[in-house]
C-alpha cells in the first residue's frame, strides 16, 4: 500500500509563514487546520475536496484538535492566549476561552470531557472546560511543551517536552504530574499513540521516531528519518505511522512492524503539518509555499 496523490485544494493566500496542526471531524469529513500566517482556522470539505470557510480571530493559530462525540473543534491562538471552541459540523464559532498567554499543543480527553492546553510561554498545562468556558486547573511543566495526546489506557495526558528530552503524563482527574520520562533522542516533538494507547510514537528533532512503552517508560525500538520531524499520525488499519518533515519537505510512511520507512512522498519545503482521516484513509498535507492542501489516499 502506498500514498497516492488524489487532488489539490486551494487555500487562502498568505505573504509568508504557513500552517500548523490540523484535525478531521469524522462525521462529515471536515478538515480543520490552523493557518498561522493569517491568524485564521481554515475548513476543508474533505468529501468534496473544496475550501469551505475561514474562521478569523485566531492570531498565531497553532494547535487544532476535534472532539468527535461532542461535535466540537478546538483551535489554540498563541497570539491572543485564547482557545476557539467551534461547532465542528457547521464551522461556526461557539466561544473563546482565555487559557494562558501562548497555548499551543492541544489534547482532548474523551473520557472526562477535558481539554488540555500546553503553553509554550509560561510552561504550564491547563485543563479547560469548553462547555462552561473556564480554566479548571493549571500545572507547571518541567520544560517547554510540544505536542500532546490523551491515552485512554493510562487515563492520562502525555506531553512531549523538548528539553530535557522526554515526556510527562498528567492525570485529567487530579492534575497529578508524573515524573519526566527520558526519550533517548534529542527534541521530542510530534506524538501519536497506538490503538489502545499503550505505546507512544514520538518524532524527535534528532532524526528518529522512537516507540515508547508508556507503562514501563522505556524505548521499544526506533526508526531513522531523514530530517527534523513535526506532526505524526498513526494509521491503525495499515499499522503505519505518517511523519511530516518540513525540511526537505517530505511525508514519510513508517512500517511499525519493521520499524522502517517504506515510502517517502515529496511535498513542499516547509510542509511540516498534515491531518489524517482514519475512517476514510485520506491524508491532507498543508503546503505553505503554494497555499494549498495536497490530498492523498492509500492505494
Mean pLDDT of 178-207: 97
| Model confidence at 1: pLDDT above 80 | no
User: For residue 277, what are the contacts with CB-CB under 8 A and spacing of at least 6?
Assistant: 24, 26, 29, 31, 46, 283, 284
| Model confidence at 149: pLDDT above 80 | yes
CB 46 within 8 A of CB 295: yes
Stated as kind and residue range, the H or E segment containing 118 is strand 114-119
Q: What residue segments make up the domains of the chain, in order of their start?
A: 19-227
* Exposure letters 232-267 (e unless 16+ CB within 10 A, then b): bbbbeeeebbbbbbbeebbbbbbbbeebebeeebeb
**Dist. CA 231–CA 13, nearest whole Å:** 22
pLDDT tens track for 250-269: 999 999 999 999 999 999 99
Handedness of CA 224, 226, 232, 237 (dihedral sign): negative
Confidence of residue 298 (pLDDT cuts 50, 70, 90): confident
| Model confidence at 91: pLDDT above 90 | yes
**Which residues does residue 109 pair with via DSSP β-bridges, in sequence order?**
114
* Exposure letters 21-38 (e unless 16+ CB within 10 A, then b): bbbbbeeebbbbbbbbbb
- Asked whether the bond before 38 is cis by omega within 30 degrees of 0, the reply is no
**Dist. CA 59–CA 165, nearest whole Å:** 29
pLDDT tens track for 154-188: 999 999 999 999 999 999 999 999 999 999 999 99
Looking at domain 19-227, which CATH architecture does it have? 7 Propeller (2.130)
Listing from the earlier edge strand, what are the strands of the sheet with 208-213? 188-193, 199-204, 208-213, 218-224
- What percentage of the chain carries pLDDT values higher than 90? 98
User: For residue 258, what are the contacts with CB-CB under 8 A and spacing of at least 6?
Assistant: none
**Dist. CA 42–CA 40, nearest whole Å:** 6
Amino acid at each position: 500500500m502506498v500514498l497516492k496523490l488524489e487532488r489539490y485544494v486551494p487555500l487562502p493566500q498568505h505573504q509568508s509563514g504557513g500552517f500548523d496542526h490540523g484535525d478531521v471531524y469524522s462525521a462529515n469529513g471536515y478538515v480543520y487546520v490552523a493557518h498561522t500566517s493569517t491568524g485564521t482556522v481554515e475548513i476543508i470539505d474533505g468529501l468534496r475536496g473544496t475550501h469551505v470557510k475561514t474562521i478569523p480571530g485566531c492570531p498565531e493559530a497553532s494547535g487544532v484538535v476535534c472532539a468527535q462525540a461532542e461535535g466540537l473543534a478546538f483551535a489554540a491562538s498563541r497570539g491572543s492566549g485564547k482557545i476557539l471552541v467551534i461547532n465542528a459540523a457547521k464551522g461556526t464559532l461557539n466561544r473563546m476561552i482565555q487559557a494562558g498567554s501562548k497555548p499551543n499543543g492541544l489534547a482532548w480527553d474523551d473520557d472526562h470531557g477535558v481539554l488540555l492546553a500546553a503553553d509554550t510561554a509560561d510552561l504550564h498545562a491547563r485543563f479547560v472546560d469548553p462547555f462552561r468556558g473556564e480554566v479548571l486547573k493549571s500545572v507547571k511543566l518541567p520544560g517547554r511543551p510540544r505536542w500532546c495526546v490523551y491515552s485512554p489506557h493510562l487515563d492520562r495526558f502525555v506531553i512531549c517536552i523538548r528539553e530535557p528530552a522526554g515526556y510527562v503524563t498528567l492525570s485529567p482527574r487530579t492534575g497529578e504530574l508524573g515524573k519526566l520520562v527520558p526519550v533517548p533522542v534529542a527534541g521530542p516533538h510530534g506524538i501519536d499513540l497506538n490503538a489502545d494507547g499503550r505505546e507512544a510514537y514520538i518524532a524527535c528533532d534528532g532524526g528518529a521516531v522512537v516507540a515508547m512503552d508508556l507503562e514501563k517508560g522505556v524505548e521499544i525500538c526506533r526508526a531513522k528519518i531523514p530530517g527534523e520531524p513535526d506532526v505524526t499520525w498513526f494509521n491503525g488499519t495499515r499499522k503505519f505511522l505518517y511523519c511530516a518533515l518540513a525540511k526537505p519537505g517530505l511525508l514519510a510512511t513508517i512500517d511499525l512492524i519493521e520499524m522502517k520507512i517504506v515510502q517517502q512522498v515529496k511535498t513542499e519545503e516547509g510542509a511540516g503539518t498534515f491531518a489524517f482521516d482514519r475512517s476514510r484513509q485520506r491524508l491532507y498535507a498543508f503546503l505553505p509555499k503554494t497555499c494549498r492542501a495536497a490530498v492523498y489516499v492509500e492505494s
